[in-house]
A and B are shown apart, each in its own frame.
Chain A
Amino acid sequence: MLFNTPIFLLFFLVFLLFYGFVFLRQTPRLYFILVASLVFYGAWNYKFIPLLVGSSVVDYYLALAIAGAVTPQARKLLLTASVIMNLGILALFKYADFAIQSVAELMSGFGYTPDTVTLSWVLPVGISFYTFQSMSYTIDVYRGDMHARKGLVQFTTALAFFPQLVAGPILRARQILPQFHNIPIPTWANAKHGFLLIVVGWMKKTVADLLAIPAAAVFDSGASVSLLETWTGVLAFAGQIYGDFSGYSDMAIGLALLLGFKIPLNFRLPYFATSPVDFWRRWHISLSSWLRDYLYIPLGGNRNNHRLRNIFITMLLGGLWHGAAWTYVIWGAFHGFIITATHYLGGLKIFAGFSNSSSRWAKLTQWAITLYLVLLAWVFFRASSLDSALAILSDMHDLSGHVNSGPMALSIFFMTASAFLLMHLLDLFVIRRADRFEARPWLFWPLLVIGVTLCLLIGEPSNEFIYFQF
């Protein structure tokens, strides 16, 4: 049930009717959100509802047990149980086949050809998001960052809350759980901002679907393409994944706001970043901050002599979080490498002046270099294989001009670049001008209707959200 489909509109209207006008007290509303969220999740595959509910129930009781444990050993044991359960679920459903096949390939490299049996299990949608969310709760309780709160239904509902269930943002229990213990009443101002986010998110998703076409022409066709067409395809994919994922996040945040719930922003103009470190402060903020708090810092963070190693491991595993394939691992490793390189170079006197400079030209150069590196990384993320990624990277730097561009190549490049820019301008507008815009109803509502109309007029046959597969 995608947010930009008629059936979701129907679902949400029915939900709103009951939520707003029938279930007026806290407890019925809480139960109703839970039931609706499970229906929403079950629309994909009802067989995985027990997995979602089961893991939340286990983590809820483990968190209570951690809070009540008297010895550090017992607390550690209980936390270990939670981490093993959550990572075990991920390992089974997401990584088992990848591990088996990788081992088999490794063995065949040594001349053995083992009979491999893969699980071929369906990946439960949103599993990477809700297991991380659930696990963060037990870790926070273990660390003493938050108290274990009584209320199994509240905890399960917070985890299953339909706007953010299948593709995040990955919320911390301390951000969302209190809101389910005291269910908020939406204000009209919040609702208007919610509408704005939903329409902007929908527009970004629509643009992303269009960008999928030039991206597929480079990544999927296998045909020879020119230098310009290759860059167009890579830029298109960068725009596609941004519009797709940030669009979904915006819609999730907007839908939650319509119900009064507040979810923090997940993207903040990532392609305006002026360094790889800055990029990860702006891209999928809920994941990067999760990795920082629950992986990088436990590894030692900045405190020991292995800072660069810790960053690299964090990014490597961050890549693996996205998918069970070597291309994702390399994508993560590449980001790990460029972040560590940025830190290393920033520490050298010769580069310190440049990296700390606030001059416009220095910032522009930093932005261009960052965008270039991020685009290179996306090639690994999108390519179907390592060979394909290397071929595209080679095409991106092949200045020989032995492949001519098609007659529409330049137009398509400019349209791709414009679409890329448009999405950022929309975001910039929401961040900087939303208040003033929302205060002018004569402008606000007509423009929102025009935005929705554009989304209803533009469509591509395949409009799945990319991040659902993670």
Chain B
Amino acid sequence: MNSSTSSSDWVFVKIFLAIVLGMGAAMGIVRVFVWLNDASAETIIGRVMEAKAALPEIVATEVPVVMVYGSSLVQAAFSPREFDQQLAELGTEVKSFNFGFGGLNPYFQDFLSRRIHEEFDAGGKRLKLAIIEFNPFQATQSRWQGALSSVDSFITMLANDQEIREISLQDPERGALLFNIKYLRNDISAEMITSFYGRPFRSPRARSQLQEDQQAEKVRDELGQLLNQQFEKDYPDYGGEEWGWGWQGGGTIPSERSAETLEIVNRFYAAGQTDYRMDNDRLFRIDCCDILEMNFEPLLVEAFIRIVHNFQQFSDQVEVILLPRNTDWIEYTPEARQRLEYTISAIEAATGVSVRNYQSIDAVNNKMFADTTHLNRYQGAVGFTGFLVDQYADDLRQH
């Protein structure tokens, strides 16, 4: 080796070290930044991670298991304890779980459903009944656009290494990016950071022209504080029982609460039904989710179909439902109705499951909503859960 080659070697050593050490230092600062901001899968989609963590125990349940799966609408609308108690009174023993999660559109739910499938397979158990919610406004193009900055991070939080490897085989560039986010960035992508800090600079959405009822808001705040105090009274020994949300058990139920608490709850719900709050929430849903027009995103509809297929592999019975709709505030356009019908037909054709439309049922009225889309817990969820018991009690008994 001559002297010029030696000096060339030395330059390449320095260049190589500069890249590795420089990138390492920069990545280290990124990790510190993420840590200082307490950003992780646990803080961003904590309840989903809790649900994932609870899966081995859920699978180990000895009695038949029912799972209601979907968006935050399911989270609000289904009470596992009500469901289990009412079925027990009918002589059927089951254990149900509320797997409704806010912030997860069908694309992300698809990954979570694969994790559930894996756990049930590993435990050699089958679901007795899977009730899967199709939430139309979670499957729109607007919803997908709004989620783009979270896609990479959520994939790394919910996918396993095998799935990321499969993505890598199809698209090595994306695969390398995902492994980078998963193992070097603690699941937090640059897009997610930018989206979080850039929020104040986004174009503001339309706000309600109606006047806020200051008095009602004040009453609501006071009642909310009272309800916190009532919880301490009604559950003095609460220590994270398995009916808590960590286990996807659905939380408290009216039959356990004192008459005083229930009276406060009723006043709390009534105070929330102001025109200003509801209209503002409607405008928010129009902005984020195109809730009235519902231009569907094919990618999300396909993901939903995959969710149903996933559940079909480890469930004795799979149902697809649409949850109650607040028709006082959310009225679809004729074109949206057509699009919804078309999409439902596509789901039915692809899965072989008839979609049950519970958007308008006698058990739930528009006053049982906490906002324009979510049912409240002690009226709406109780009513809807009772309705599900009526619908599926026979099926569960026959099994």
- Is A407's beta carbon under 8 Å from chain B? yes
Partner of A20, one of B16, B33, B193, B200: B16
Docked-complex contact A457 and B173, CB < 8 angstroms: no
Contacts of A258 in B (CB 8 A): 15
Pick the 7 closest A-B CB pairs, nearest first. Answer: A20-B12, A459-B190, A7-B176, A452-B26, A461-B148, A6-B180, A185-B8
Docked-complex contact B177 and A457, CB < 8 angstroms: no
A452 to B29, CA, bound (A): 10
- 24 pairs, A vs B, C-beta closer than 8 Å: A5-B177, A6-B176, A7-B173, A9-B19, A12-B19, A13-B19, A16-B19, A20-B15, A20-B16, A185-B7, A191-B14, A191-B18, A408-B203, A411-B201, A415-B201, A448-B22, A449-B26, A449-B29, A453-B26, A453-B29, A456-B26, A459-B191, A459-B194, A461-B148
- Is A195's beta carbon under 8 Å from chain B? yes
**Chain B: residues with CB nearer than 8 A to chain A?**
1, 4-5, 7-9, 11-16, 18-20, 22-23, 25-27, 29-30, 33, 148-149, 151, 172-173, 175-177, 179-180, 189-191, 193-194, 200-204
Partner of B22, one of A43, A191, A217, A449: A449
A24-B1, A449-B29, A453-B26 known; A13-B20 Cβ under 8 A: yes
Partner of B5, one of A2, A16, A24: A24
A408-B204, A445-B22, A452-B22 known; A457-B33 Cβ under 8 A: yes
- Give residues 452-469 of A contacting B (CB, 8 Å): 452-453, 456-462
Docked-complex contact B30 and A453, CB < 8 angstroms: yes
Contacts of B1 in A (CB 8 A): 24
- Of chain A, the residue at the smallest CB distance from B176 is A7
How many of chain A's residues have a CB under 8 angstroms from any CB in B? 44
CB distance from B283 to the nearest CB of A (A): 15
Contacts of B194 in A (CB 8 A): 210, 457-460
A16 to B8, CA, bound (A): 12
- Give residues 1-20 of A contacting B (CB, 8 Å): 1-2, 5-7, 9-10, 12-13, 16-17, 19-20
A6-B180, A415-B201, A452-B23 known; A43-B15 Cβ under 8 A: no
Contacts of B33 in A (CB 8 A): 453, 457
Docked-complex contact B177 and A187, CB < 8 angstroms: no
A390 to B8, CA, bound (A): 56
Contacts of A121 in B (CB 8 A): none
A144 to B25, CA, bound (A): 51
For B1, B18, B148, the residue with the greatest tally of chain A CB atoms inside 10 Å of its CB is B18
Docked-complex contact A412 and B201, CB < 8 angstroms: yes
Contacts of B151 in A (CB 8 A): 461
A452 to B26, CA, bound (A): 6
A450-B29, A456-B30 are known contacts; what are 18 more A-B pairs with Cβ within 8 Å? Answer: A6-B176, A6-B179, A7-B173, A7-B177, A10-B176, A20-B8, A186-B15, A217-B203, A408-B201, A408-B202, A449-B22, A449-B26, A449-B29, A456-B190, A459-B189, A459-B190, A459-B191, A461-B191
- Of chain A, the residue at the smallest CB distance from B33 is A457
- Is A54's beta carbon under 8 Å from chain B? no
Contacts of B8 in A (CB 8 A): 20, 24, 185-186
A195 to B26, CA, bound (A): 14
CB distance from A280 to the nearest CB of B (A): 34
Docked-complex contact A459 and B193, CB < 8 angstroms: yes
CB distance from A172 to the nearest CB of B (A): 27
Docked-complex contact B12 and A16, CB < 8 angstroms: yes
Contacts of B148 in A (CB 8 A): 461-462
CB distance from B297 to the nearest CB of A (A): 15
- Is A372's beta carbon under 8 Å from chain B? no
Docked-complex contact A16 and B173, CB < 8 angstroms: no
- Is A21's beta carbon under 8 Å from chain B? yes
CB distance from B186 to the nearest CB of A (A): 13
Docked-complex contact A9 and B30, CB < 8 angstroms: no
Partner of B177, one of A6, A17, A19, A210: A6
CB distance from A41 to the nearest CB of B (A): 14
- Of chain A, the residue at the smallest CB distance from B16 is A16
- Is A429's beta carbon under 8 Å from chain B? no
Contacts of B200 in A (CB 8 A): 408
Contacts of A46 in B (CB 8 A): none
Contacts of A458 in B (CB 8 A): 190, 193-194
- Is A406's beta carbon under 8 Å from chain B? yes
Contacts of A13 in B (CB 8 A): 16, 19-20
- Of chain A, the residue at the smallest CB distance from B178 is A6
- Is A188's beta carbon under 8 Å from chain B? yes
Partner of A188, one of B11, B25, B177, B203: B11
A213 to B354, CA, bound (A): 42
CB distance from A435 to the nearest CB of B (A): 18
Contacts of A19 in B (CB 8 A): 12
Docked-complex contact A195 and B191, CB < 8 angstroms: no
Docked-complex contact B173 and A43, CB < 8 angstroms: yes
Contacts of B25 in A (CB 8 A): 449
- Give residues 151-198 of A contacting B (CB, 8 Å): 185-188, 191, 195
- Of chain B, the residue at the smallest CB distance from A25 is B5
Docked-complex contact B176 and A191, CB < 8 angstroms: no
Contacts of A2 in B (CB 8 A): 173
Docked-complex contact A191 and B29, CB < 8 angstroms: no
A445 to B20, CA, bound (A): 13
A460 to B202, CA, bound (A): 13
Contacts of A450 in B (CB 8 A): 29
A1 to B5, CA, bound (A): 30
- Of chain A, the residue at the smallest CB distance from B168 is A7
CB distance from B105 to the nearest CB of A (A): 15
Docked-complex contact A185 and B4, CB < 8 angstroms: yes
CB distance from B35 to the nearest CB of A (A): 13
Contacts of A187 in B (CB 8 A): 11
CB distance from B40 to the nearest CB of A (A): 16
Contacts of A188 in B (CB 8 A): 11, 14
CB distance from B181 to the nearest CB of A (A): 9
- Of chain B, the residue at the smallest CB distance from A223 is B203
Contacts of B191 in A (CB 8 A): 459-461
Partner of B27, one of A411, A456, A460, A461: A456
- Of chain B, the residue at the smallest CB distance from A13 is B19
A210 to B5, CA, bound (A): 44
- Of chain A, the residue at the smallest CB distance from B145 is A461
Contacts of B27 in A (CB 8 A): 456
A6-B180, A7-B173, A461-B191 known; A21-B9 Cβ under 8 A: yes
CB distance from A454 to the nearest CB of B (A): 9
- Of chain B, the residue at the smallest CB distance from A456 is B30
Interface bits A303-347 vs B (CB < 8 Å: 1, else 0): 000000000000000000000000000000000000000000000
Interface bits A35-56 vs B (CB < 8 Å: 1, else 0): 0000000010000000000000
